[in-house]
Structure 1
Amino acid sequence: MKDHHFDIELFAVPARQALQHIYQRSGYNYPKSIESDVITRIFLGDSILNAHTDHSHARHRKAMSPAFSASQLRSFLPQFRNGAAKLCRMWKEQILDEKPEGEVIPVNKWLARLALDVIGETAFHFDFGALDNSKNEVSEAYDSLFADSQLHPRLWMVFFRASWRWLPRTLLNFVGYIPTREFKRFRKSKKAIDKVSTILVDAAIEEAKAVEVEKGKKDVMSVLVRANMSENPSFQLSKNEMISQMATLTIAGHDTTANVLTWLLWELAKHPKYQNHLREEVKQKREEIAERDGEGVDFEMEDLESMPFLQALLKEVLRFHPIVYHLSRSAAKDDIIPLSEPIVTATGEIIEEIPIAKGQGFLISVCAYNRIKSIWGEDANEFNPQRFIDGEVENTIKLGVYGNLVFDTNVVITVAAGMRGCIGWRFSLIEMQAVLVALVQNFEFSLPPTETEILRMPVSLMAPLVKNRMKEGVLMPLTVRALST
């Protein structure tokens, strides 16, 4: 196969159909790369993220889908609101009551603890106690997990990982036991969450044996227990798979959500006009609710979804700060990737389709795609939520689940689409809306008084670190001032 070199802007429009082919039409023909699979298996175990075959992945997804229906997830809104209200109280009572001028707070740490408590309560009926106890074992295990394990990898490890595609899977199963900094950190994290998960799973299975599991209950724990006890092989999950699902949902359900909110608060701190616009929109919506339903009635999903600037902010932060900054795939078989338009290479060759050989790897840059000017406009390198309100974003080929299914606008390739699309994207989106509304109503966010340079670091997730303070791990210090409400 010839080695072609493409200009990213010239390749933008044709690439959209190519990406649609990889992630939607032929999703199971493009599984995750070996390296990605091995790493996630080390700290997550046998979860849906590590289902190798089409059948295995379909079995996991079919078993778990009832817990992630739109109606089920919308029913969690009261818990999201309660968690956000608790965080607001704690900031005011513990930090800001005696400091009317505001205080610098590591907002990412608090948001991660809030999100961990929320996923525990809504999915597993378990109180992690992370907000009440910053020394919580699970919270500590996850704190800066990826920064500790993935930042500045040693050269030999880079070459070692590159060799995994040629090693047998039986041998790769033991990679996680190599006593390196990275793998020690992964094992520590897995041990902490597996300890809690095993206790919860054992108790749930024993209770289910004594009392028939209510078939109408669709929370994650009830769904996992029914899948474990099912006699239908297409639904059945083993105990180890249940434990791994809990680990996967715990880290995916709290770390990514907290990171998105962290970046959004940073952007609001840098752009007071956007912050004030959102606060005014929230105020107006609350007045509408009070007039419609009476004082003291809180937001429902319809209210949150009817706030255009709130929705635009969430889309723009996912575009501008994609938490998953690249997606790795490999071809399971020979294939032909179509292009919606012919492209001309640097050598003048016209390309109308791309032949792919079995085993060929792909590393698709979400960051690069989300900054292409021909798709997002000349200001693609600027944070501008207004692009989603003015309708400037060109909308032809659809790729991502968030942009297509929820708001029917353009694609933000942040949540992978297709058969292997993120099963919990709605959960995260609803939680972010509830938390953001509560925070901007109660607090004003601004940059710290002393110059603090925030670095966007690719550590499995795109996370914020402070220049010259990188040993402190993932960190976003912002000045927070309580508002009178």
Structure 2
Amino acid sequence: MSFSITLLTVSFIMGAYIIYNVNKRSPFWNIPGPRSHSFILGHICELFRNQVGLVSRLEMYVCIGVHSYLQNVRQTDFEWQETYGNVVRFKASFGSDYLMISDPKALQRVFQTSGYRWRKTPQRREFSRLTSGKGLAWADSMDNTPLPSFCLKTLAGDVHKRQRKIMLPGFSAPEAKNFFPFFSSCAATLCSRWANIISASSEQYQVFNVSEWMSRAALDAIGQAAFDYDFGATKDQDTELSKLYQGLMAKTFGAPSKTALLLLELFQYVPTSVMEFVNNHNPRFYSLHRVAHVAEATARHLIDTKSDLLLEGKNKKDIMSLLDNRKRKITKITSSRPPADPSLFPANIPPCSGSDTSGM
């Protein structure tokens, strides 16, 4: 009997909460946006399942013979921008309002000027944890923002600041100049690879998937600049990490079902620990877990190698070497090697960014 009363009470509270959210006036009520045809998912299906990043003027594509294909592709983001402007209100799950912002000044304020005032949603933080671990991309920027009672309160804001402090020496102006040769070399390798492919073609021309090739080049450049590690993605070398990163985002998150989208939205109402447990045992994310495991093993090996080189006085210019050298100076270790610590450098973030430059 008591269980039935408890269940009825919980159901009543949840129903009242949903009705209240549906009927209360949104602070975004005066911002234009499209009409939603689904109360449960809103516009989530359109945003996650339609193709993105397409120029909305179809006639620009007639010259390359894909006009018939693009006629069947709905271009949600650009259509909304053309119709409603640079700030668009759209519906998420259960009638909640979200904003899609494409105004440069507004984006600058969100990401740079007042970045610490904007806290990531639980779903977005979980996405960052899955793709790059609990590093800079995961750590929330708000320190003392009260969380809902059903969420686990974390010290992610402090973690974010600590990791930024650790990473800062590798991105100062003098060090950044040393990275230019890495990117220049990878760009030259990419051009040479394209030239060889065209030369080998009997018709002397080739259609390239530029996004894929740019991701390969970026992965190589970031690997060399950050770790002094050659992924060999542009040269089609069969390194384990390179193979794991190829098409990782598309295979893991591409074209999610309505059920998957609904579960993603429901995650905002469950504790963080439950959300992480479910995703850690989700077969869909096996590739991400495999990448994290291999990246950590590679990071341990690289830290060991670079510690040996530093003891021999062989300093290199990649970010990991700079950070390892800084750690050695801070701890005043000169005669013995410090224990391998992959948390010294968030090893999964730069490769993940490089492997999906257009998506991250």
TM-score by length of 2: 0.59
SS at structure 2 position matched to 1:105: coil
Matches of 2:249 and 2:86 in 1, distance apart? 34
Q: 1:146 to 1:170 in 2, by over 3 A?
A: same
Match of 1:84 in 2: 187
Counterpart in the other structure of 2:31: 6
User: Is the contact made by 1:213 and 1:222 (CA closer than 8 Å) also made in structure 2?
Assistant: no
The residue type equivalent to 2:236 in the other structure is N
Give runs of aligned pairs for residues 46-445 of structure 1, distance below 5 A: 46-52=134-140, 53-97=156-200, 99=202, 101-181=204-284, 183-208=285-310, 210-211=311-312, 219-226=318-325, 228-229=327-328, 230-231=330-331, 239-242=341-344, 245-256=346-357, 259=358, 323=359
Residue by residue over 1:405-428, the C-alpha shift from the partner in whole angstroms, topping out at 9 and shown as x without a partner, is xxxxxxxxxxxxxxxxxxxxxxxx
Tell me how far 1:18 sits from its aligned partner.
Answer: 6.5
SS in 2 for 1:163: helix
Counterparts of 1:46 and 1:10, CA distance in 2 = 32
Corresponding residue SS for 2:242? helix
Question: Residue 197 of structure 2 contacts residue 206 of structure 2 at CA under 8 Å; is this kept in 1?
Answer: no
CA offset digits 1:16-71 (Å, max 9, x no partner): 87666544454223221111111221231121112233332122112212222233
**Which one has the bigger strand percentage?**
1
User: Aligned equivalents of 2:355 and 2:278: distance in 1?
Assistant: 26
Note the alpha carbon deviations across 1:131-186, whole angstroms, 9 max, x for none.
Answer: 333543222211221211112222332222223233223333323322332x1232
Q: Does 1:43 align with 2:131?
A: yes
Instruction: Note the residue ranges of structure 2 that are not aligned, 5 or more in a row.
Output: 1-23, 33-83, 89-100, 141-155, 333-339
Cα displacement string for residues 304-358 of structure 1 (whole angstroms, at most 9, x for unaligned residues): xxxxxxxxxxxxxxxxxxx5xxxxxxxxxxxxxxxxxxxxxxxxxxxxxxxxxxx
CA positional deviation for 1:195: 3.1
What are the superposed Cα offsets for residues 257-311 of structure 1, whole Å, 9 maximum, x if unpaired?
Answer: xx4xxxxxxxxxxxxxxxxxxxxxxxxxxxxxxxxxxxxxxxxxxxxxxxxxxxx
Kindly indicate whether the alpha-carbon contact (under 8 Å) linking 1:48 and 1:61 is maintained by their aligned counterparts in 2: yes
- Percent identity over the alignment is 27
| 1:227 shift after superposition | 5.5
Deviation of residue 221 (structure 1)? 0.8
One-letter amino acid matched to 2:301:
I
Distance 1:16 1:94, change over 3 A: closer
Give the Cα separation in 2 of the matches to 1:22 and 1:93.
Answer: 44
Conservation of the 8 A alpha-carbon contact between 1:66 and 1:223: yes
Aligned length: 249
| Closer, same or farther: CA 10–240 of 1 in aligned 2, 3 Å | closer
The AA in structure 1 aligned to 2:31 is F
Of structures 1 and 2, the one scoring higher in RCO (CA 8 A, sep 6+) is: 1
Is the helix fraction higher in 1 or 2?
2
Q: Say if 2:136 and 2:164, in contact at 8 Å, map to a contact too.
A: yes
Q: Measure, in 2, the Cα distance between the counterparts of 1:90 and 1:10.
A: 39
Larger radius of gyration: 2
Give the direction of change, closer, same or farther, for the CA distance of 1:180–1:75 in structure 2 (3 Å limit).
Answer: same
How far does residue 206 in structure 1 lie from its aligned partner after superposition?
4.7
Q: Is the 8 A contact 1:44 1:190 kept in 2?
A: yes
- Structural RMSD (CA): 3.4
Deviation of the 1:249 alpha carbon: 1.0
Rate the CA distance shift 1:119–1:10 in 2: closer, same or farther, 3 A: closer
Amino acid across the alignment from 2:264: R
Letter of the 2:125 partner, please give it: D
Which ranges in structure 1 are unaligned for 5 or more consecutive residues? Answer: 233-237, 260-322, 324-460, 462-485
Conserved? CA contact 2:123–2:268, under 8 Å? yes
How far 1:196 sits from its partner (Å)? Answer: 2.1
